[in-house]
Amino acid sequence: MHCDLTRMTRITRERTGKISIENNLIIQKGDLKMTGICYIEVGAQNLDRIKPLWEKLMEHIKLRSTYFREWFRTRTFDQRKAELLRKAAEGKLRVDLAIDGGRGIGYCVSSISYGVGEIDSIFVEDSYRLSGIGSELMKRALSWMENDQVERIKLAASIGNEEVLPFYRSHGFLPKHILLELKKE
């Protein structure tokens, strides 16, 4: 897989646990060795590239959902894609993809509408978590929104998936509301 070098960051992990940054090249050192991770912006027209990862995200959330397991079970990528394309038509949509060896291993979909930025969906394969990939995806989305001078940035986390909250907190996100939804039987 060829990556656009103007939009690419590589991550290499080795065994010492040290992080260094040099000219947009991030070297993350930890337990595994990973080379050749690249990040590309694929755009709304290529949403289908995230489908396998999005389906894994839904499986992850479905297993953890406290109250809406059936809703997540029946949710389809085509439904979510249609929602995201509506957002793109009403505002702006960005899709970042992390790739290793030509295979998508993580993504972040973010949007801007009426001066509000949103992290719409973010996911990294289990075997690549805690390696800085999610943080790089998040940083790319946040930078895009800040460059557009959004008034605020938000995201939603599903109940049952609270394990992700420390990651969001590390990027400055804090709880503001608890949104409840009437469950139809």
DSSP states along 60-76:
HHHHH-SS-HHHHHH--
pLDDT at 3: 56
Q: Which residues of the chain have pLDDT under 70?
A: 1-35
| Domain ranges for the chain | 38-170
pLDDT at 142: 98
pLDDT at 184: 84
Lookup: tokens for 55: 């389906």
pLDDT at 23: 32
pLDDT at 116: 97
The CATH number of the structural domain formed by 38-170 is: 3.40.630.30
pLDDT at 185: 73
Rounded CA gap, 12 and 146, in Å? Answer: 27
Rounded CA gap, 105 and 4, in Å? Answer: 17
Rounded CA gap, 33 and 98, in Å? Answer: 16
146 phi, psi to nearest 5 deg:
-65, -40
